[in-house]
Structure 1
Amino acid sequence: MSCECNTSGSRCGEHKGEQGSPSPTARVFNIQRYSLNDGEGIRTVVFFKGCPLKCPWCANPESRSIEQVNIRRESKCLHCDVCEQDVDECPSGAFEQVGYDVTVEELIAEIAKDDVFYQTSGGGVTLSGGEVLVHGKFCIELLKQLKKLGYKTAIETSGHGNGNHLVEMAKYCDEILFDFKMMNREQAKDVIGINLDKVLKSFDALKLASCKLIPRLPLIPGYTLDLINVDKVLHFLAPYSLEELHLLPFHQFGSSKYETLGMTYSMKDTPVPTKQEVDAIQRHVEAHGYKVVIGG
């Protein structure tokens, strides 16, 4: 019998517990190994599925819906009638399911495969998305277990979610990479669906956390790539006396994913920021006393 709260037919984490399984589950869509961004050292990044925002520049559109989805890669498709768009029957692998459910134990087993890289580089594990706050309780338990095992941990978040869960996660993090986006309240709500006041409150609640707090700012043409937006971020951050800020220039690396998902990508013709544009903002932020890292 399938769970009514999950249209994919698999049971959600809450109802799995009722069936006596060892732990709740969460839905991920990728585990990226050997990452040199997203925290210090060599990282294993766990990408969770599900995000409440609708950023037009999103590089991981497959992460938006928490539901499992199928993607179709035109370059592999034989245009045959064999598979009927069924992932398991597709003879060429053109159809691929995105999203699968894992337990805390299963994730830790995958993470442990990269132990040697953490030990030699000072790296660790980063939880990303989507938005980790969509899976708040699960991520708290995962981070707690990872810290018990001695792993260095980090999360990437927009802060748009349960603030209490975010504060609890911080107890088991070495780093929190916190993304600031559009700082105009009305535009932020209309364009990306974010409640800016809630986000800023969540960030403020982290001021007592013992972990390293790193603000990040995507540089998106037409949205955040201007000094007015940058200055609003800097003005908000001023009381926190932070030392480091990351700039994330817009790129087109995820543009091909939209077609495989049957989605329209509104920014396909948007040029990436020039080196001169990025350099100018970097100098501006550095003038406010921050160590600036490009790319996170």
Structure 2
Amino acid sequence: MTLSAARRINCKCIDYPTDETARIFNIQRYSLNDGQGIRTVIFFKGCPHRCPWCANPESISGSIETVRREKKCLHRAVCLNDVDECPSGALARIGRDVTLDGLEKEALKDDIFFRSSSGGVTLSGGEVLMQAEFATRFLARLRRLGINTAIETAGDASAARLLPLARQCDDVLFDLKIMDEKQSKEVLHINLPRVLKNMRLLVANGIHVIPRIPLIPGYTMTRENMCRVLDVLAPLAIDELHLLPFHPYGEPKYSLLDRPWQMKGIPAPDESDIAPLRLMAESAGYRIKVGG
């Protein structure tokens, strides 16, 4: 969905779904990132964290939101401010509730691509752990059908929520961001000690964890931060890291949602910026993939 500059209008807030349903805001098909092969990535709505560089600001609120694209508006004298009645599509709803059966049916539309490419389904967000019970049941269904499964998570939840879900995954794409405990809490609202404890727990339980480090100028893209990542990973049986360079592609969404873009004017790092950090990780013995 292309998001052009617009302004947010009064939203219709719907109670968060039960364990029988989930709230998502996008299904991205034919993705070559976020896991092996051709993947269908399902984006769950709601996130407790506040990363300044977030590329999906529409994922943060757990509520279904209504926005207006000003360029599409016909500016009629009478406007009902109703998504279902808008003739031009200027009004759009971000987020919808899905059932287990309904989401399984949508995911299986791509089954032929999963089979031919060793691909599968990845649950992303937002933060999928906010709807962990539903996600666990959903991935269990896919695994019974022989479909490869993965989640992308910051790992900042109770082990009781994380571990059952991770056990339904072929891969857990585990984000490691700011490695200073105080800064991680103040800037991102992330409990770093719990995150690191959870990552160790997953590895100890034989779950395939792939750490992913966003390379964000001014936050994580430093030798010191990379050293802390490597120190944490050194005792663990992990041999692959993903480096995710910052990009500004999410900026137009902030205008749509009438939120400030805190990374304004910060350019994406180029290969020469990334190379020293990549070399550090490779020298420590890791296979590196740049990008998801």
**TM-score interval for Structure 1 and Structure 2 normalised by the shorter chain:** over 0.9
Note the C-alpha offset of 1:145.
Answer: 1.1
Pick aligned residue for 2:13 from 8, 14, 17 = 8
Provide the aligned C-alpha RMSD in A. Answer: 1.4
1:150-229 matches, cutoff 5 A: 150-229=146-225
Q: Are 1:140 and 2:145 counterparts?
A: no
Partner of 2:5: none
> Does the 8 A contact of 2:211 with 2:242 survive in 1?
yes
Q: Any idea what the Cα deviations from partners look like across 1:158-207, whole Å, max 9, x if unmatched? A: 00122222111121110000000001111111111111111111111101
Cα separation, 2, equivalents of 1:91 and 1:130: 30
Amino acid at match of 1:65: S
Give the AA of the match of 2:30.
Y
Matched with 1:237 is 233
1:262 is displaced (CA, Å) by 1.2
Aligned residues with identical type, % of pairs:
51
What is the letter of the counterpart of residue 110 of structure 1? E
State whether residues 55 and 249 of structure 2, in contact with CA within 8 Å, keep that contact through their aligned partners in structure 1: yes
Q: 1:236 to 1:105 in 2, by over 3 A?
A: same
Contact 1:133 1:162 in 2 (8 A): no
**Bigger shift: 59-68 or 142-151?**
142-151
| TM-fit CA distance, 1:73 | 2.0
Q: Is the 8 A contact 2:16 2:23 kept in 1?
A: no
The one of the two structures with greater contact order (alpha-carbon pairs below 8 A, sep at least 6) is 2
Q: Which amino acid counterpart does residue 278 of structure 1 have in structure 2?
A: I
Q: Structure 1 residue runs of 4+, over 4 Å off?
A: none
> How far, CA to CA, are the matches of 2:153 and 2:15 in structure 1?
26
Q: What secondary structure sits across from 2:85 in the alignment?
A: coil
Instruction: Give the TM-score, by structure 1 length.
Output: 0.92
Separation of aligned partners in 2, 1:194 and 1:82: 46
TM-score between both structures, scaled by the size of structure 2: 0.93
Deviation at 1:268, TM superposition (A): 2.0
Does the 8 Å contact 2:37/2:114 carry over to 1?
A: yes
Deviation of 1:279 (Å): 1.6
Check if 1:56 corresponds to 2:52. Answer: yes
Amino acid of the residue matched to residue 102 of structure 1?
A: V
Q: Within 1, Cα distance between the matches of 2:283 and 2:114?
A: 34
Whichever residue aligns with residue 217 of structure 1, its letter is I
Count of matched residue positions in the alignment of Structure 1 and Structure 2 = 281
Where structure 2 has 5 or more consecutive residues not aligned to the other structure, the ranges are 1-11
Please name the residue that 1:277 is paired with.
273
Q: Structure 2 counterpart of 1:12, which letter?
A: P
